[in-house]
Each structure stands twice: as structure tokens, then as C-alpha cells.
Amino acid sequence: MRPTVIDIAREAGVSLATVDRVLNDRPGVRGKTVLAVSQAIARLGYVRDMAAANLARQRNYRTAFVLPDTQSQFVETLLTELDTAASLATAARTQIEVIRFPAEDPHSLAALLMTLPEKGVAGVALMAPETPVLRDAIKTLRQKGLAVVALVSDLPNTERDHFVGIDNRAAGRTCAVLMGRFLGQGPQKVAVMAQSMLLRDAVERRLGFDELMGREFPQIEVLPTLENHGSTDLLRGVVTEMLTQFPGVGGIYLLGSGHGALTRLLDDLNLAKRIVVIGHELTPHARSALDAGKMDAVITQNVGHLIRSALRVLRAKIDKTPIDAGQEQLRIEIVMRENLPLTPQDPD
């Protein structure tokens, strides 16, 4: 049998109330007594039963996931996963609220965040670019006792508790190796495309990509980043222009979204098979492009794990419980057609 608080009390020679005071750092216990209890805990190897504790605490973890209102397949995937997570989380007395904010408006984001404490939210997962107002908002939230984790894109200069996401610089390096090895020995040109270089994750990926390309594949020339600002027309324009200027381009590296539009264009130009295309995030478009051989590899993070990790971290921070670093480490996943994960279907 696992020891309970009662065993601790007996072992330490104190009453239940005192054990309780020590366990929950309530005031009014002498240092000497605290020590006695701690030793009893250590001796018996007592581990607090969090299930029972939370039951008694009547705690319902109210969390908010704050995302930009961008129309991208990646955000859509996040939403889907959040949805399924929400229904499962109910059984673990966790509520998930999804909130969108105008992507270009840091002030309204900050204002929105400030309404969360009074709504009883205990933890926030946030995917947003770092701005001064946001920094202040996060500071205030933390002071009010909320747990704050950065999602997907880190907010390193803020007081966020944790970052849940992959190391984007390493992800960029990974793309570079694949690109380099897929292209072979000869001199080659590689184009890079992004939605916008304002997002930290895109910048970091590009840095990692360039770093490794320069070091390991000096014969490959990396062209400047083409930005498409989320517009299909703009994308077709800049890519077409690039292809006329550098008709021999051997590879395209896609920093952010745009898989669908790009592969469609390359298909129209009959270039899909010749050009090596590597991108990020396993969206439905990316899946079908991989499957059809129009993309060669996708570097991604498991969005389901991402969400679950964020939830676990939030709960841990709210509980002031240590987190299992190994479990929370998200892998940089390489997906090709051959290891494309099946759309999960219940095997039962």
C-alpha cells in the first residue's frame, strides 16, 4: 500500500493537521516540526495523490489557448487538435477555451489577455509575435498568478513560464542537410520562400538553413527569401519571376505556409518532379503533395503532442509541480512519403 498523509502523521509523531500545514505550506509550523515531517515523508517515500488532491481542491483547470486569426492550414490543424483535446480534457477536469486575436494588432491582443484573470483562467498558452505590449501583458498575468506558456514560436524575452515547440534553428539545419543530400554533388541554386519574415520561427529556420548550407554544401547557392504575404497571386508572381531569372533552380525551401499554392504552380509548369521541394508543417496540403511526389520532405512537429504538452505544462505550472522534461521535449520530425503517418483511425 502506498503511504498516505495518515501514515506520515504517525511516522512523524504529529497530527494530521500539521502534516497538512507542511504539505501545503500553510503558516504556523516550527522549522523543527517541518523537518520532522519532511523526514517522515522521505522515509516512507510518500507521494501525494494528485487525483485525490485535485478532487478535494475542487480545482478545475481553466486554460485559454490564444491564437492569431490567420487563415492558415497550420492554425486550422491546431484548432482541430484543440477540439479533440478539449473533449478528452473534460474527464481530467480541464477546460480549454480557444481565443483568436487580430494577427496584426498587438494592442488588442494585450487588451484581450488582460480580461483573462477575471474570467478565472489559470493558465494561458500563447502563439504570437513578441512585442513590447505583449511583454508587459505577460508580466501582469504572471504577477496575478497565471501560468503562461509560449506555443510554437518562443517569447524568450518575456516572463513566460515555458516554451512548447521545436527548436526552429535546428529544424532549418535539418532541411538544409536533406536539401543538400537530395540535390547531390554539383553546383545548384536553392530558392527560399516565406509568408513573411516578421515571424520569429521563419527567421530562425532561415538562419539554421543558411548556417548548415554554408558549412556543408558550399557549392549550393541559396537565393534571397521570397515573401508572399499569404497571397496566392503574389506567390505565383514572385516564383515565376525567380524561375525565369534562375531557370536551373534545383530546390525550393518553404519556410512557412503556401504548400498548396506552390506545388500547384510547379505542377502547372511541369517542374514538380525536377525541383526538390522541402517545407514545414504537415498540413493536409503538404500531405497530399508528399503523397503525390510533389514535395520531397516535410519537417514538422506533432501538433497533437504539442497541444498535450502545453496542457501538461500548464497543469504542472498551476499545480507548481515539476515537469518531466523528457516527455515535454518535442521532436523535429522528418516526414517523407514513406513514413507519412496514417490519418489516425481507431484500431478497436
Partner DNA sequence: ACAAAAATGAGGTGCGTACCTCAGAAATGG
Partner DNA sequence: CCATTTCTGAGGTACGCACCTCATTTTTGT
Interacting residues toward a second copy by CB under 8 A: 2, 47-52, 54-55, 60, 84, 88, 90-93, 162, 170-171, 173-174, 176-178, 181-182, 184-185, 212, 299, 302, 304, 308, 322-327, 329, 331-334, 336-339, 341-342, 344-348
User: 271 is written with which cell numbers?
Assistant: 517542374
Q: What is the DSSP string of 41-86?
A: HHHHT----HHHHHHHHT--EEEEEEEE----HHHHHHHHHHHHHH
Residues 51-80 touching DNA, rule: CB under 7 A, are: 52-53, 55-58
Terminal alpha carbon distance of the chain: 34
CA distance 90 to 83: 11
Pick the closest to residue 73 from 290, 342, 286 (CA basis).
286
Shortest Å distance, C-beta 118 to DNA: 20
Shortest Å distance, C-beta 7 to DNA: 8
Total residues binding DNA (CB under 7 A): 30
Residue 17 binds which of a second copy, DNA, none (CB < 5-8 A, kind-dependent): DNA
By the rule CB under 7 A, 4 interacts with DNA: yes
CA distance 332 to 128: 21
User: 202 is written with which cell numbers?
Assistant: 521563419
- What distances in angstroms separate CA 10 from CA 5, 36, 42, 109, 339, one per listed residue? 9, 11, 14, 52, 56
Per-residue burial over 271-297, b if 16 or more Cβ lie within 10 Å, else e, is bbeebbbbbbbbbebbbebbeeebbbb
By the rule CB under 7 A, 275 interacts with DNA: no
Residue 90 binds which of a second copy, DNA, none (CB < 5-8 A, kind-dependent): a second copy
* Residue 26 or 181 with smaller CB distance to a second copy: 181
By the rule CB under 7 A, 103 interacts with DNA: no
Residue 326 binds which of a second copy, DNA, none (CB < 5-8 A, kind-dependent): a second copy
By the rule CB under 7 A, 88 interacts with DNA: no
DSSP state of 39: H
**Residues of the shown chain interacting with DNA in the complex, contacts defined by CB under 7 A:** 1-2, 4-6, 13-18, 20-21, 23-24, 27-30, 32-33, 46, 48-49, 52-53, 55-58
